[in-house]
Amino acid sequence: MSRRLSRSEKGKMQAPQELPPKKPPVRIPANTNDDLIEANRLTIIGRLTNPLVQKPRAVIDFMAQVWNLEGRVVGRTLGLDKFQIKFESEQELTQVLEKGPYHYKRWMLILQRWEPSVSDQFPSNISFNVRIHGIPLHFWSEQTIRTIGKELGKYSLRHEKDAKIWVEVNGLQPLIMKMEIELPTDDITEVEFEYIKIEKHCFTCFSLFHEEIDCPYRPLNAPPPKERKLGITRVLRYERIEAEKKRHDDRRGYSRTENANLSLRSADDSYIQHRREGNRSEYGRYKDRTGSYNREHSILSRTARSNAAHYRNQRPSMQYRVVDKSRLSSGSSTPHQITPTRSLKDRLGPSSDQAETNSGSKERRSALERISEPATSKEPAARRTPSFESGRLQHGETRMDENDTIMRANTVESPPS
């Protein structure tokens, strides 16, 4: 009897092999880096919020054009989601940061002045112009605005009448859209922040790194943005999205139904529904065009057949008569004879003898006299091909000859008075 193999011999129930131990960090020798710090002093470090859409090299070239600093800035990529841009002067660097924030392909860019830091969280600060809404009028003062701005981050007051401040916030964290404040009267109210020039962000958690459809905190039964109450920043952003879609549709010649997306929960579902409706409408229009073309084709075919038969049956038959233009002698009372109607073959193919026989002579002679005459070398006249006009003229001459003959016959038959 053969021996059974154990589990270890079969290779069953064995733990997976462990990875080799991690090597200790490499020690960098100490050196003086003051010159490197000075060389990177006029540098901005940027972070992408959507590396799938934004590419560092394309962003560097694009921002140089936006700032009108082409050829005066030097940039390089620092991985898949970071980049570096070096300026020539302090003034240019400061102006660029003050005119922020910036975006590329509708996704925000986090730009921060370089610091000698090795943290993965750098850069993280993004600057916004923020307008505060909801401050009671009897507490609307510079002190109130500064107190609220201090809670957001590093700030500076821009306009007191509009409650507008410039603030640096942590772009890696969700934005603060609302804040409760306690008034000196012990009343608690809520103020809302409007982030100016903000582009794509999540309407649920207010993150800059994804949209609402990809938010892990989005409830399963959450209604679409159009059916729920949104904050002022989200409302303005949603209006810009709809305006952009409308401009795109007008430029492409599309048309959207107003209530097509009311019952849809996500943008993907609305897109699928829109495509289905478009396909159905296109198929319906194609069927209408095909049906109308078939009907018109059948009608034209029947009409063409009936018209062809009508023209074949109703067209006038063109008959030609060969008229003998010889006249009677001056003393003869015999009426002029008219040759009957002949076929085209008979009229176009006479022989040479017949041409000689039908030659125009003013006197009628017997056959014996014509046979006894010597043959003449006179060539027959060249025959012309009959045409429609010649047939009409001959037809008219025939009618004139018939009228002339009838009048002569009546004159001969009438009794003398």
Would you state the structure tokens that stand for residue 114, as one six-digit string? 């370089």
Nearest to 87 by CA among 145, 141, 39, 22: 39
Query: Which is higher by pLDDT, 6 or 345?
Result: 6
Q: Is the pLDDT of residue 262 over 70?
A: no
* 178 beta partners: 192
Determine the pLDDT at residue 3: 76
Nearest to 260 by CA among 230, 281, 231: 281
The residue-averaged pLDDT of 9-21 equals 74
Would you state the structure tokens that stand for residue 279, as one six-digit string? 């396909």
Determine the pLDDT at residue 250: 75
Nearest to 238 by CA among 157, 359, 229: 229
Measured distance CA(417)–CA(413) in Å, rounded: 12
What pLDDT band is residue 221 in, cutting at 50, 70 and 90? confident
The residue-averaged pLDDT of 28-52 equals 92
380 contact partners, CB below 8 Å, separation of at least 6 = 352, 355, 356
Q: Is the pLDDT of residue 260 over 90?
A: no
Q: Is the pLDDT of residue 417 over 60?
A: no
Measured distance CA(227)–CA(244) in Å, rounded: 20
The residue-averaged pLDDT of 355-369 equals 56
In the chain, where are the structural domains located?
Answer: 35-113, 125-255
Query: Which is higher by pLDDT, 371 or 112?
Result: 112
35-113 fold: Alpha-Beta Plaits (3.30.70)
- Find the range with the poorest average confidence among 57-66, 135-144, 205-214, 353-362: 353-362
Specify the DSSP element, H or E, that contains 83: strand 82-86
* Average pLDDT of the chain to the nearest whole number: 75
% of the chain beyond a pLDDT of 70: 58
The residue-averaged pLDDT of 129-134 equals 93
What pLDDT band is residue 389 in, cutting at 50, 70 and 90? very low
What pLDDT band is residue 110 in, cutting at 50, 70 and 90? very high
The residue-averaged pLDDT of 245-252 equals 72
The residue-averaged pLDDT of 353-375 equals 58
What pLDDT band is residue 230 in, cutting at 50, 70 and 90? confident
* 195 beta partners: 130
Q: Is the pLDDT of residue 393 over 70?
A: no
Residues 61-104: tens digit of each pLDDT: 999 999 999 999 999 999 999 999 999 999 999 999 999 899 99
Determine the pLDDT at residue 388: 47
In this structure, which long-range contacts are made by residues 17-22, counting pairs with CB atoms below 8 Å and at least 24 apart in sequence? none
pTM higher than 0.75 for the full model? no
Query: Which is higher by pLDDT, 313 or 154?
Result: 154
Q: Is the pLDDT of residue 385 over 80?
A: no
What's the order of all strands across the beta sheet hosting 107-113?
A: 74-77, 82-86, 43-48, 107-113, 102-104
Determine the pLDDT at residue 346: 61
CB 401 within 8 A of CB 323: yes
Determine the pLDDT at residue 104: 95
What pLDDT band is residue 361 in, cutting at 50, 70 and 90? very low
Determine the pLDDT at residue 365: 66
The residue-averaged pLDDT of 116-125 equals 92
